[in-house]
Amino acid sequence: MSGILGKKVGMTQIFQNGNVVPVTVIQAGPCVVVQKKTVETDGYTAVQVGFVDKKLKQVTKPEAGHFKKSNAAPKAHLSEFRAEDMSKYDVGQAITVELFKEGDYVSVTGLSKGKGFQGGVKRHGFKGGPGSHGSMFHRAVGGIGGRVRVRGHIWKGRRMPGHDGQETITAPNLKVVLVDKDENVILVRGAVPGSNGTIVRINTAKKNEKLVLRDTRHKKEQDKFLAALQAKEKAEKEKKKAPAKTGGKK
């Protein structure tokens, strides 16, 4: 399966090979397979999984009937993930963080933090006007109407002040630094969208194989360089320890 649902716990940093690595802690699963979709019934193959138990008083009758088919407790969050071999999954089966391993690359999708109504400078990175010498134009948007068609016509898609944030964003190609199978926790390098407690989708990166091969190649090159450097240092030490040659008598 290509991914799993999780919850962003927060950010921290760990030490790895003598370096400080910023990581995001994500509680990945456990998820339950609620439904299997096949080509015969739905036109494509996918697995629907549920995450986080839902209170019974919040479950509607259609939802109760849907979960009754899978004999699973009602879940608050449902999502589909593509799967190639459907025979590996059964309804009611648990999907855990064991889906990933250290060194893999994943893409994390979540809802970004909402920032409310913002101006053009903060929302779109506008430069703004002069900050002194009597300027009355500091953080305003500027002219928004053009004279190409009709005077004052505003083109569709013009960047203007408005609601910022609270959008679905994907952070691609994040490296898996640590996988804790006992606590169902995964640590990925870098930041992921959303605030603490946000529900996120963790998918295997499309370029996972290429990125893993790249890391393997870089590791071999680094080991080769360090071995050559150590050999050079060893040769220099032996050269210093060797007795100096003295000239013979004429």
Cα separation, 107 vs 37, whole angstroms: 23
Q: Indicate if the alpha-carbon torsion angle 143, 127, 190, 26 is positive or negative.
A: negative
Q: Read off the pLDDT of each residue in 60-69 and give the average, rounded to a whole number.
A: 85
For residue 173, pLDDT beyond 80: yes
Give me the chain's average pLDDT, please: 87
With beta carbons less than 8 A apart as the criterion, state whether 128 and 161 touch. Answer: no
Cα separation, 184 vs 241, whole angstroms: 55
- The pLDDT tens digits for 67-120 are 888 778 888 899 998 887 788 888 888 888 988 989 899 999 999 999 999 999
For residue 214, pLDDT beyond 70: yes
Cα separation, 89 vs 177, whole angstroms: 27
Cα separation, 95 vs 92, whole angstroms: 9
Of 4-8, 143-147, 199-203, least confident by mean pLDDT is 143-147
- The pLDDT tens digits for 43-59 are 888 889 999 888 888 88
DSSP state of 146: B
For residue 65, pLDDT beyond 90: no
- Total residue count of the chain as it appears in this document: 250
- Residue pointed to by tokens 């944030």: 165
Provide the residue type at 60 as one letter: T
CA-wise closest residue to 89 among 50, 51, 48:
48
What is residue 179's predicted lDDT score, i.e. its pLDDT?
Answer: 92
With beta carbons less than 8 A apart as the criterion, state whether 68 and 91 touch. Answer: no
For residue 63, pLDDT beyond 90: no
For residue 241, pLDDT beyond 80: no
What is residue 244's predicted lDDT score, i.e. its pLDDT?
Answer: 60
CA-wise closest residue to 5 among 78, 68, 74:
78
Cα separation, 35 vs 222, whole angstroms: 46
- The pLDDT tens digits for 145-161 are 766 667 778 888 889 99
Phi then psi for residue 109, to 5 deg, are -115, 130
DSSP state of 58: G
Q: Record the tokens describing residue 108, joined without a space.
A: 């994390």
Cα separation, 47 vs 107, whole angstroms: 18
CA-wise closest residue to 174 among 103, 250, 246, 80:
103
- Give percent of the chain with pLDDT exceeding 90: 38
